[in-house]
Structure 1
Amino acid sequence: MDSVHSGDARYLRDSVQRAVKVVVAGPFGVGKTTLVGTLSEIRPLRTEETMTQAGATVDDLDGIKDKTTTTVAMDFGRLTLNDDLVLFLFGAPGQARFQQLWRDLTYGALGALVLADTRRLDQSFDVIDRLEEAGLPYAVAVNDFPDAPVYDDERLRKALDLLPETPLVVCDARNPASATDALITLVEHLLTLS
C-alpha cells in the first residue's frame, strides 16, 4: 500500500494482517442494506436499483408496500476491529432469483447474521435453510420495525424453528449501537464454535 493513502479511511491500515468475511442475509426488504450501511466505516457499496413493474410480479411486497428499490447484486461494507483485523460485510440479495449469486457471496464466509421481520417471519425459512445446507453458522437478529408485532424470544424461536444454541436478538438496523450488538452476538457465537 502506498504510504500516501495510509491516513485515508478508504484504504486499509498498513497494520491489517487478517480479513474476515461475514454475510448479512435475510428475505427481501428486511433491512440488510441498512444494516451494512449503519455498520460500515467506509461509504458502502450498494447495488440498489429502482423496482420495476416487471419485478412486482416476482417479488412479494406483502408487508413492505412502500419499498421502491432492491439490491440486485450485493452490499459491501468494511469495519476495522483492531489494528490488524478487518471485517468485510457482504449483504446478500433476498430474492430467490439471486440464489446463485447468494451462494457465491457465502463462499469463504465465517458466518452470517440473518435479519428477520416479525411481519413476515415465514419468509426467513428459505434463507435459514440455505445457510444450514451450506453449513454456515448464523445468528438471527429480528429487525425492529415500528409497525411490526413484538413477540417474546420463546415464541420467535418456535416460529423460526431455531435450535437452542442459535443466538437470537432484536435490533434496529438503523441504530449503530443496536446493529453493533447484533454483530457482536454473531461473533461471540462464532468464537464458541472454534
Structure 2
Amino acid sequence: MDFNGSDTITGPRSEDALPDTVSAAVKIVVVGGFGVGKTTMVGAVSEIRPLTTEETMTQAGVGVDDNYGSETKTATTVAMDFGRISITDEIVLYLFGTPGQERFWFLWNGLFEGALGGVVLVDTRRLEVSFDVIGRLEERGVPFVVAVNAFPEAPNHPLDELRGALDLPEYVPIVNCDARQRDSSRDVLMTLMRYLHATAPVS
C-alpha cells in the first residue's frame, strides 16, 4: 500500500512555513511492521509534501525481510518518513514514520526521543509482527493507539478479538482505518490526541 504522491524533497518550501498562530508542536511516531502502510498514512494526512527516505528494494533483502502480504512492494523506507498536520490553529503534529524491517529497528530509539505519542499500524495478516512493535513503545513509555489498516485481502476481525490477540489493555484505544484516506488517517490521530489528553496528569 504505497502513497504515490510522497515524493522525496531536499528542503523546505515557503508554502510549508508554519502559520504565525501555532503555539505548540507535538511529535508523533507512526510505527509498525514492514508494509503495513506507515508511509501511506504520513503521505495521506500531511498538509505539506512529505519527506520520505524510500529506496528501491533489491535482492539483498531476500530471505532477510519478511514481505508477506507486500510481495508487489518495490520500495521501502530506510530511515524515516516525515509529515505535518495542523490539529487546530495553535497545535500542529509532526509525524515521524519508522522503517518497518527489523534490521532498521535500531533507528527507532532516536525517532522515539521526544515523542508524545504513537500510532501502531496493524495488518491482520501479520499480527505477530505487532508484538515487538508494541513492546518497544511500552518499554519507552510512549502512549499509543492501535490502528488496524484496511487491506482488501486481509481477514476482518472484530476489534475486541484483535484486542485480545494483541494482549492490549482495555484503556488502549484500537480503531479501524484506511491509511490511504486522509480523513481516516486524521481520525486516528485525533483518537490519539484525545487519549493523550485523557491520560495527561492534572497539574
| TM-score bracket relative to the smaller structure | over 0.9
What residue number does 2:75 align with? 69
Per-residue deviation, 1:73: 0.3
Q: Quick one: which amino acid aligns to residue 127 of structure 1?
A: V
CA distance in structure 2 between the aligned counterparts of 1:80 and 1:73, rounded to whole angstroms: 24
Q: Quick one: which amino acid aligns to residue 193 of structure 1?
A: T
Per-residue deviation, 1:101: 1.1
Q: Does 1:169 pair with 2:171?
A: no
What residue number does 1:97 align with? 103
Question: What's the % identity of the aligned pairs?
Answer: 59
Task: Pick the aligned partner of 2:22 from 16, 19, 39.
Answer: 16
What residue number does 1:86 align with? 92
- 1:37-48 correspondence runs (5 A): 37-48=43-54
Q: What RMSD in Å do the two structures reach over aligned CA positions?
A: 1.3
What residue number does 1:4 align with? none
CA distance in structure 2 between the aligned counterparts of 1:94 and 1:116, rounded to whole angstroms: 11
Q: Quick one: which amino acid aligns to residue 99 of structure 1?
A: W
- Structure 2: state its 5+ residue gaps: 1-13
* 54-63 vs 156-165, greater mean Cα deviation: 54-63
CA distance in structure 1 between the aligned counterparts of 2:37 and 2:115, rounded to whole angstroms: 20
Q: Quick one: which amino acid aligns to residue 23 of structure 1?
A: V
CA distance in structure 1 between the aligned counterparts of 2:59 and 2:109, rounded to whole angstroms: 27
Per-residue deviation, 1:84: 2.3
Number of residue-to-residue matches in the alignment? 188
Per-residue deviation, 1:137: 0.4
Q: Quick one: which amino acid aligns to residue 130 of structure 1?
A: R
CA distance in structure 2 between the aligned counterparts of 1:85 and 1:185, rounded to whole angstroms: 15
* 164-173 vs 53-62, greater mean Cα deviation: 53-62
Q: Quick one: which amino acid aligns to residue 164 of structure 2?
A: K
Scaled by the length of structure 1, the TM-score of the pair is 0.93
- 1:15-164 correspondence runs (5 A): 15-164=21-170
* 97-106 vs 142-151, greater mean Cα deviation: 97-106
What residue number does 1:3 align with? none
What residue number does 1:5 align with? none
Scaled by the length of structure 2, the TM-score of the pair is 0.89
Q: Are 2:124 and 2:155, in contact at CA under 8 Å, matched by a contact in 1?
A: yes
Per-residue deviation, 1:10: 1.1
Q: Are 2:65 and 2:102, in contact at CA under 8 Å, matched by a contact in 1?
A: no
Going by fraction, where is strand more abundant, 1 or 2? 1
Offset from partner CA, 1:95-125 (integer Å, 9 cap, x none): 2222221110011000000000001111111
* 10-19 vs 69-78, greater mean Cα deviation: 10-19
